[in-house]
Copies of this chain bind each other. A is one copy, B any other.
Amino acid sequence: VKANTKKTKLVRGAKRASYDEDVINKILDASFLCHVGFTCDGEARIIPTAYVRINDAIYLHGNVRNQMMQALVDGQAACVTVTLLDGMVLARSAFHHSVNYRSVVLFAKAEVVEAEKKPPVLDALIDHLVPGRSKNIRPHLQKELDGTLVVKLTIDEASAKIRSGPPIDSESDYELDTWAGVLEFKTSIEKIEACPRLADNVVLPDHVKNLVRNKTLQQSFSRN
Protein backbone atom coordinates (compact mmCIF):
# COMPACT_ATOMS: atom_id res chain seq x y z
CA VAL A 1 0.00 0.00 0.00
CA LYS A 2 1.33 3.41 -1.01
CA ALA A 3 1.44 5.27 2.27
CA ASN A 4 1.22 8.98 2.69
CA THR A 5 0.23 10.01 -0.81
CA LYS A 6 -1.25 13.47 -1.03
CA LYS A 7 -4.74 11.98 -0.88
CA THR A 8 -4.34 9.33 1.81
CA LYS A 9 -2.03 11.10 4.24
CA LEU A 10 -4.01 11.94 7.33
CA VAL A 11 -3.33 15.44 8.47
CA ARG A 12 -5.80 15.76 11.30
CA GLY A 13 -5.95 12.88 13.78
CA ALA A 14 -2.76 11.46 12.28
CA LYS A 15 -2.10 9.45 15.46
CA ARG A 16 -5.13 7.33 14.66
CA ALA A 17 -4.01 6.56 11.11
CA SER A 18 -2.51 3.38 9.72
CA TYR A 19 -1.20 2.46 6.28
CA ASP A 20 -0.56 -1.15 7.25
CA GLU A 21 -1.97 -3.64 4.74
CA ASP A 22 -3.07 -6.10 7.43
CA VAL A 23 -4.90 -3.41 9.39
CA ILE A 24 -6.64 -2.19 6.22
CA ASN A 25 -7.58 -5.70 5.06
CA LYS A 26 -8.95 -6.67 8.48
CA ILE A 27 -11.31 -3.68 8.46
CA LEU A 28 -12.35 -4.36 4.86
CA ASP A 29 -13.09 -8.01 5.71
CA ALA A 30 -15.19 -7.01 8.73
CA SER A 31 -17.81 -5.31 6.57
CA PHE A 32 -19.54 -5.82 3.25
CA LEU A 33 -21.03 -2.37 2.79
CA CYS A 34 -19.04 0.52 1.44
CA HIS A 35 -19.87 4.02 0.26
CA VAL A 36 -18.55 4.77 -3.20
CA GLY A 37 -17.80 8.39 -4.10
CA PHE A 38 -17.54 9.45 -7.72
CA THR A 39 -18.12 12.62 -9.70
CA CYS A 40 -20.92 13.39 -12.11
CA ASP A 41 -20.81 16.71 -13.98
CA GLY A 42 -18.00 17.73 -11.64
CA GLU A 43 -20.01 17.16 -8.46
CA ALA A 44 -19.58 14.46 -5.83
CA ARG A 45 -22.09 11.64 -5.51
CA ILE A 46 -22.13 8.77 -3.03
CA ILE A 47 -23.80 5.40 -3.39
CA PRO A 48 -23.78 2.63 -0.75
CA THR A 49 -23.07 -0.79 -2.20
CA ALA A 50 -21.77 -4.27 -1.31
CA TYR A 51 -18.20 -5.37 -1.86
CA VAL A 52 -15.88 -8.25 -1.27
CA ARG A 53 -12.11 -8.19 -0.86
CA ILE A 54 -10.08 -10.81 -2.75
CA ASN A 55 -6.31 -10.57 -2.24
CA ASP A 56 -5.18 -7.02 -3.02
CA ALA A 57 -8.44 -5.66 -4.41
CA ILE A 58 -12.08 -5.05 -3.64
CA TYR A 59 -14.80 -5.82 -6.15
CA LEU A 60 -18.05 -3.97 -6.81
CA HIS A 61 -20.86 -4.95 -9.14
CA GLY A 62 -24.01 -3.47 -10.58
CA ASN A 63 -26.35 -3.38 -13.50
CA VAL A 64 -24.56 -2.45 -16.71
CA ARG A 65 -26.78 0.67 -16.97
CA ASN A 66 -26.21 1.73 -13.33
CA GLN A 67 -25.02 5.36 -13.11
CA MET A 68 -22.32 4.61 -10.57
CA MET A 69 -20.94 1.70 -12.59
CA GLN A 70 -20.91 3.84 -15.71
CA ALA A 71 -19.03 6.60 -13.87
CA LEU A 72 -16.51 4.12 -12.46
CA VAL A 73 -15.67 2.54 -15.81
CA ASP A 74 -15.19 6.01 -17.29
CA GLY A 75 -11.73 5.98 -15.76
CA GLN A 76 -12.11 8.46 -12.91
CA ALA A 77 -10.49 7.84 -9.52
CA ALA A 78 -13.22 6.66 -7.16
CA CYS A 79 -13.14 7.04 -3.40
CA VAL A 80 -14.39 4.06 -1.39
CA THR A 81 -15.07 4.36 2.34
CA VAL A 82 -15.85 1.58 4.80
CA THR A 83 -16.97 2.65 8.26
CA LEU A 84 -17.56 0.40 11.26
CA LEU A 85 -19.12 2.21 14.19
CA ASP A 86 -18.07 0.51 17.43
CA GLY A 87 -19.50 2.81 20.06
CA MET A 88 -20.31 6.26 21.36
CA VAL A 89 -17.74 8.03 23.49
CA LEU A 90 -19.39 10.19 26.15
CA ALA A 91 -16.98 12.80 27.48
CA ARG A 92 -17.32 15.42 30.20
CA SER A 93 -17.74 18.20 27.64
CA ALA A 94 -19.57 18.32 24.31
CA PHE A 95 -16.26 19.14 22.64
CA HIS A 96 -14.65 15.82 23.54
CA HIS A 97 -17.58 13.57 22.66
CA SER A 98 -16.60 11.16 19.95
CA VAL A 99 -17.28 7.75 18.46
CA ASN A 100 -15.16 4.64 18.45
CA TYR A 101 -14.80 3.37 14.91
CA ARG A 102 -12.68 1.59 12.36
CA SER A 103 -12.63 3.04 8.87
CA VAL A 104 -10.81 2.68 5.58
CA VAL A 105 -10.64 5.19 2.75
CA LEU A 106 -9.22 4.04 -0.55
CA PHE A 107 -8.75 5.67 -3.93
CA ALA A 108 -8.61 3.64 -7.13
CA LYS A 109 -9.53 3.56 -10.78
CA ALA A 110 -11.91 0.72 -11.54
CA GLU A 111 -10.87 -2.06 -13.92
CA VAL A 112 -13.60 -4.04 -15.66
CA VAL A 113 -13.52 -7.74 -14.74
CA GLU A 114 -13.59 -10.04 -17.78
CA ALA A 115 -16.61 -12.23 -18.46
CA GLU A 116 -15.06 -15.54 -17.39
CA LYS A 117 -13.85 -14.09 -14.10
CA LYS A 118 -17.24 -12.73 -13.08
CA PRO A 119 -18.75 -15.94 -11.61
CA PRO A 120 -15.96 -16.60 -9.08
CA VAL A 121 -16.02 -12.96 -7.94
CA LEU A 122 -19.81 -12.94 -7.53
CA ASP A 123 -19.60 -16.27 -5.68
CA ALA A 124 -16.96 -14.82 -3.38
CA LEU A 125 -19.29 -11.89 -2.63
CA ILE A 126 -22.18 -14.23 -1.74
CA ASP A 127 -19.86 -16.28 0.48
CA HIS A 128 -18.60 -13.05 2.08
CA LEU A 129 -22.21 -12.25 3.07
CA VAL A 130 -23.06 -15.81 4.14
CA PRO A 131 -20.12 -18.24 4.17
CA GLY A 132 -20.88 -21.38 2.19
CA ARG A 133 -23.98 -20.06 0.47
CA SER A 134 -22.72 -19.92 -3.14
CA LYS A 135 -22.73 -23.73 -3.34
CA ASN A 136 -26.32 -23.86 -2.05
CA ILE A 137 -27.97 -21.74 -4.73
CA ARG A 138 -28.53 -22.40 -8.42
CA PRO A 139 -25.71 -21.49 -10.84
CA HIS A 140 -25.59 -18.06 -12.51
CA LEU A 141 -27.53 -17.73 -15.76
CA GLN A 142 -25.67 -16.31 -18.74
CA LYS A 143 -28.16 -13.46 -19.09
CA GLU A 144 -27.64 -12.53 -15.43
CA LEU A 145 -23.87 -12.41 -15.90
CA ASP A 146 -24.25 -10.43 -19.14
CA GLY A 147 -26.37 -7.82 -17.37
CA THR A 148 -23.92 -7.40 -14.51
CA LEU A 149 -20.80 -5.28 -14.60
CA VAL A 150 -18.08 -6.30 -12.13
CA VAL A 151 -15.18 -3.98 -11.39
CA LYS A 152 -11.93 -4.40 -9.51
CA LEU A 153 -10.41 -1.63 -7.38
CA THR A 154 -6.87 -2.40 -6.34
CA ILE A 155 -6.06 -1.53 -2.72
CA ASP A 156 -3.05 0.62 -3.39
CA GLU A 157 -3.71 4.16 -2.24
CA ALA A 158 -5.47 3.55 1.07
CA SER A 159 -5.47 4.42 4.74
CA ALA A 160 -7.17 3.14 7.86
CA LYS A 161 -8.26 5.17 10.84
CA ILE A 162 -9.22 3.69 14.19
CA ARG A 163 -10.44 5.19 17.44
CA SER A 164 -10.88 3.00 20.48
CA GLY A 165 -10.81 3.39 24.20
CA PRO A 166 -12.23 5.82 26.76
CA PRO A 167 -12.98 9.52 26.37
CA ILE A 168 -10.02 11.87 26.37
CA ASP A 169 -11.09 14.95 28.28
CA SER A 170 -9.44 18.24 29.06
CA GLU A 171 -7.21 17.55 32.06
CA SER A 172 -9.12 19.91 34.34
CA ASP A 173 -12.44 18.20 33.51
CA TYR A 174 -11.54 14.82 35.01
CA GLU A 175 -12.41 16.02 38.48
CA LEU A 176 -15.99 16.95 37.44
CA ASP A 177 -18.74 14.78 38.83
CA THR A 178 -19.90 14.00 35.30
CA TRP A 179 -20.34 10.40 34.17
CA ALA A 180 -18.17 9.61 31.18
CA GLY A 181 -17.49 6.41 29.32
CA VAL A 182 -18.11 4.36 26.22
CA LEU A 183 -21.36 2.77 25.06
CA GLU A 184 -20.28 -0.19 22.95
CA PHE A 185 -22.48 -1.22 20.03
CA LYS A 186 -23.10 -4.72 18.81
CA THR A 187 -25.09 -5.86 15.82
CA SER A 188 -26.53 -9.33 15.67
CA ILE A 189 -28.99 -11.25 13.58
CA GLU A 190 -32.16 -10.60 15.52
CA LYS A 191 -34.59 -12.61 13.47
CA ILE A 192 -34.67 -15.14 10.65
CA GLU A 193 -37.67 -14.58 8.41
CA ALA A 194 -38.20 -17.41 5.93
CA CYS A 195 -39.52 -16.47 2.48
CA PRO A 196 -43.31 -16.93 2.48
CA ARG A 197 -43.00 -18.80 -0.82
CA LEU A 198 -40.52 -21.40 0.43
CA ALA A 199 -41.01 -24.77 -1.31
CA ASP A 200 -42.37 -27.63 0.84
CA ASN A 201 -39.99 -29.37 3.21
CA VAL A 202 -37.16 -26.85 2.84
CA VAL A 203 -35.43 -26.50 6.18
CA LEU A 204 -33.02 -23.85 7.46
CA PRO A 205 -29.64 -24.92 6.03
CA ASP A 206 -26.45 -25.33 8.03
CA HIS A 207 -24.69 -22.40 6.36
CA VAL A 208 -27.37 -20.01 7.65
CA LYS A 209 -27.51 -21.70 11.07
CA ASN A 210 -23.73 -21.36 11.33
CA LEU A 211 -23.78 -17.66 10.51
CA VAL A 212 -26.35 -16.98 13.20
CA ARG A 213 -24.75 -19.29 15.77
CA ASN A 214 -21.27 -17.93 15.24
CA LYS A 215 -22.60 -14.45 15.82
CA THR A 216 -20.23 -13.46 13.07
CA LEU A 217 -21.78 -10.03 12.76
CA GLN A 218 -19.71 -7.56 14.70
CA GLN A 219 -22.16 -4.83 13.95
CA SER A 220 -24.22 -3.51 11.10
CA PHE A 221 -22.17 -3.58 7.97
CA SER A 222 -19.84 -5.92 9.76
CA ARG A 223 -18.96 -9.56 9.72
CA ASN A 224 -16.12 -11.52 11.25
Q: Which residues from chain A sit less than 8 Å from chain B, CB to CB?
A: 7, 11-12, 33, 35, 37-40, 42-48, 50, 63, 65-67, 76-81, 83-85, 87-88, 90-95, 97, 99, 101, 103, 105, 107, 122-123, 125-126, 129-130, 133-134, 136-138, 140-141, 144, 148, 166-167, 169, 173-199, 201-205, 208, 211-212, 217, 219-222
What residues of B have a CB within 8 angstroms of the CB of A186 in the complex?
187-191
A36 and chain B: residue at smallest CB distance: B46
B12 pairs with A173, CB closer than 8 A: no
Question: Is A195 touching B220 in the complex (CB atoms < 8 A)?
Answer: no
Question: Do A67 and B220 touch across chains, with their CB atoms under 8 A apart?
Answer: no
- Contact A208 B183, beta carbon cutoff 8 Å: yes
Contact of A42 among B42, B67, B187 (CB under 8 A): B42
Provide the residues of chain B in CB contact with A221, threshold 8 Å.
85, 220
Is B188 a contact partner of A185 (Cβ separation < 8 A)?
yes
Known contacts A175-B199, A180-B195: does B33 contact A35 (CB below 8 Å)? no
Q: Are A148 and B205 in contact (CB under 8 A)?
A: no
A203-B180 Cα distance, complex, nearest whole Å? 10
Which of A45, A80, A125 counts the most chain B CB atoms within 10 A? Answer: A45
Complex-state Cα separation, A62 to B38, whole angstroms: 23
Taking a contact as CB atoms under 8 Å apart, the answer to whether A43 and B39 are in contact is: yes
Check if B47 sits within 8 Å of A81, measured CB to CB. yes
Bound: A77/B45 CA distance, A: 10
In the complex, besides A37-B46, A45-B79, 16 extra interface pairs with C-beta distance below 8 angstroms are: A7-B45, A35-B35, A35-B46, A42-B42, A46-B105, A48-B81, A136-B179, A138-B178, A166-B193, A180-B198, A181-B192, A182-B195, A183-B212, A185-B189, A186-B188, A186-B191
For A65, the chain B residues whose CB sits under 8 A away are 12
Contacts of A185 in B (CB 8 A): 187-190, 217, 220
Residues of B within 8 A of A193 (CB): 87, 166, 181-184
Top 7 A-B pairs, shortest CB-CB distance: A220-B220, A186-B190, A37-B44, A37-B46, A180-B195, A184-B191, A181-B194
- A115 CA to B142 CA, complexed, in Å: 60
